[in-house]
Amino acid sequence: MSASSKYSAEQIQVLEGLEPVRKRPGMYIGSTDLRGLHHLVKEVVDNSIDEALAGYAKNIWTVLHEENYVTVADDGRGIPVEIHPKVGVSALEVIMTTLHAGGKFGDGGYKVSTGLHGVGVSAVNALSDYLRAEVRREGKEYFQEYSKGKAKSKVALTAKDTSLPFKTNFVWQVKNGTKTTFLADKTIFSTITPDFEKLEKQLKQVAYLVAGIFFHLYDERTGQERHFYFQSGLATLIKHLNRNKALIHPEPILIHKVVEGIDVEAAIQYNDGFNENVESFANVVPTIEGGSHLTGFRIALTRAINDYARKIEALKEKDENLTGEDIKEGLTAVISIKMDSDKIQFESQTKEKLGNAEAQPIVAQVVKDGLDMFFEENPQDARKIMEKVLLAARARAAARAAKDAVIRKGALEGMTLPGKLADCQNRDASQSELYIVEGDSAGGSAKQGRDRKFQAILPLRGKILNTERARLDKVLEFEEIKALVIALGTGIGDTVDYNKTRYHRIIIMTDADVDGEHIRTLLLTFFFRYLPEIINKGYMYIAQPPLYKVQKGKEIHYAYSDEERDKILKQLKGNKATKDDVILGSEATPEPDVEDSGQARMTKSPGIIIQRYKGLGEMNPDQLWETTMNPENRILKQVTIEDVSATDEVFTMLMGDEVPPRKRFIQTHAKLATLDI
């Protein structure tokens, strides 16, 4: 029997207890919001993935029960239950109740592991109000229950008539395996209700990376279920990331090789877009901040393309080398490495950046060799990639000239600021905010109503360019975008510097109509494609102006939705609202009790006037300040990106050149649209 298959209590090493996890949960799972809750699920799933990577599990089940209980099960070997020789209690209890205890530290546990630090399932236990672990080994089933990380009883054989605190229809039909059910501690988490769709994306991503393993997701609350199995792994993931995009070469470039114990896998495919989408993973963990493996990949890609460009004389002797910026355009790639769990190093507990220096030259070598071979064997595809990259290089040179012109123009206007910008007095970016306002009329009201100490106003005239379909040189030819870039102070393109951002709250304020929605989408497209760190740093917000003004005598209320309007009406009329309390649209025929103010139609109920705002320009400066700009009572929605690839896919589909995907989306979601006509 091989060392790796001898999985027993002797292989479990103990380092420390669980109290630090409950005291500082953010250090171990990143946050205590929905993302942190899903991280608990991920930690338990990761244990099952380790069994799969070791070759012992073929199925992983995730079940969402009523009342927020979650079960994760597998058909692996099952956690050892015999007495640990050093601690004197069951190995199962050691793993579940001790930080840094697991089969990932000593020899013979796991060769490749997703959970470097070993806090995984023990951290889940520490942060759960209830946890039940069940193990099947050698024809017997054992269990142990815990609360807030502490065992409620000793490990025992499961009785047939066991009563559980949750209801379930899930039947676990395996000979060997581990099943964990937990209920997150509501005193620690802001929400303990898991989100099916987000977990679906999370598990699907892992399924791409662990080819040949079945993932099953059941939601007993709604009856939904999903099943994932990808035999071709990264090739399928690349095709998914590039769907709805016109491709430069039909099939992905696939590279896979093991060097010095590091398993390197990469998939590369170019599309005719202008944006890059590169994802990296280490031991199946997404490395959002990249690391040494991603650096090695980029070095290899740049060298391989430059070498081939000179070989076919697409680059002459006098020409400069292509840069990483040139090679990024239209690139979709996934780089995934697997290595010994006792050697892998992450730069944070949440494992967002790989720190192993030795991975960089190995990844660079494997990717460079793989690309050289592909270019040699597929000259037609290679030439198409070269043409794409060379076109990007020429566009970059044009964009640099355009950008320099923007900077020069800005300098001539004095301190690089455009004339239409009403800047704030404060020079501390963390205390300053910029309102990007639709139209000169609303811009005028905003300039008069603002607090000039910390609020700057930049009015935009009309709709800006759709930057999804334009390179940087074309983007910078558009006057409104020029003004925005100069006002922000970040620069743009290859010399962008986010430390120079002049405002740490950048607020889009548009009308609550179709045109306003479109302008907002165009602005978000620009920021996502050309200044994404503005969003990632949490600087981007959407203002929420009110839809209605409800007035009874001198008493004025503002409503931000139809529901809020109805609630205010009931309060003003003593909960006796009638069907006549409605707002007439702009196309409605005036009735006797309706006055037209010249700004918006108003419906008068006895003693009550309801005004429907169609645009920001209908508000005077005081109203705009009171409802939308006063920090004490305004409503701002922060813009965040939870899933970069999914966001990229949506922008490509909604704002790109391909019509059929957009048409399908509109047809599918038409009934969900809110129309203001």
- The CATH number for 478's domain is 3.40.50.670
Beta partners for residue 286, in sequence order: 281
Residue 277 lies in a domain: yes
| Residue 576: per-residue pLDDT | 53
Q: Same structural domain for residues 85 and 154?
A: yes
- The CATH number for 346's domain is 3.30.230.10
Q: Same structural domain for residues 499 and 367?
A: no
Question: Which residues have C-beta within 8 Å of that of residue 639, sequence separation ≥ 6?
Answer: 524, 527, 535, 540, 541, 542
Where is mean pLDDT largest: 24-33, 264-273, 611-620, 660-669? 264-273
Cα-Cα-Cα-Cα torsion 514, 631, 449, 428, nearest 10 degrees, comes to: -110
Q: Same structural domain for residues 91 and 55?
A: yes
Q: Same structural domain for residues 344 and 208?
A: no
Residue 400 lies in a domain: no
Residue 284 lies in a domain: yes
More confident residue, 575 or 668: 668
Residue 402 lies in a domain: no
Q: Angle, to 10 degrees, between the axis of helix 292-311 and the axis of helix 359-377?
A: 30
Q: Same structural domain for residues 496 and 457?
A: yes
- What global pTM score does this model have? 0.71
Q: Indicate whether 178 pLDDT > 60.
A: yes
In which element (H, E) is residue 359 found? helix 359-377
- Report the domain count for the chain: 4
> In this predicted structure, which of 316-325, 327-336, 374-383 has the lowest mean pLDDT?
316-325
Q: Same structural domain for residues 388 and 442?
A: no
Q: Tell the burial category of 452 from Cβ atoms under 10 Å away from its Cβ (0-12, 13-18, 19+).
A: middle
Q: Indicate whether 379 pLDDT > 90.
A: yes
Helix (H, G, I), strand (E, B) or coil at 303: helix
Residue 401 lies in a domain: no
| Residue 101: per-residue pLDDT | 60
Q: Same structural domain for residues 385 and 238?
A: yes
More confident residue, 412 or 264: 264
- Percentage of the chain with pLDDT > 70? 87
Beta partners for residue 217, in sequence order: 62, 226
- Token pair recorded at residue 219: 């939601």
Report the first-to-last Cα separation within the chain, whole angstroms.
73
- Token pair recorded at residue 346: 């992450």
Distance CA 399, CA 393 (A): 10
Residue 619 lies in a domain: no
More confident residue, 582 or 322: 322
Distance CA 343, CA 196 (A): 34
Distance CA 257, CA 363 (A): 9
Q: Indicate whether 1 pLDDT > 50.
A: no
- Token pair recorded at residue 4: 């790796």
Residue 632 lies in a domain: no
More confident residue, 408 or 109: 408
pLDDT band at 575 (very low <50, low <70, confident <90, very high): low
Residue 119's nearest CA partner among 3, 52, 6, 19 is: 19
Catalytic residue numbers read 438, 511, 513, 515
Q: Same structural domain for residues 446 and 327?
A: no
Helical spans, DSSP H, in 552-604: 562-572
Q: What does the pLDDT look like over 56-93, one tens digit per residue?
A: 999 999 999 999 999 999 999 999 999 888 878 899 99
- Residue 72: domain span: 3-228
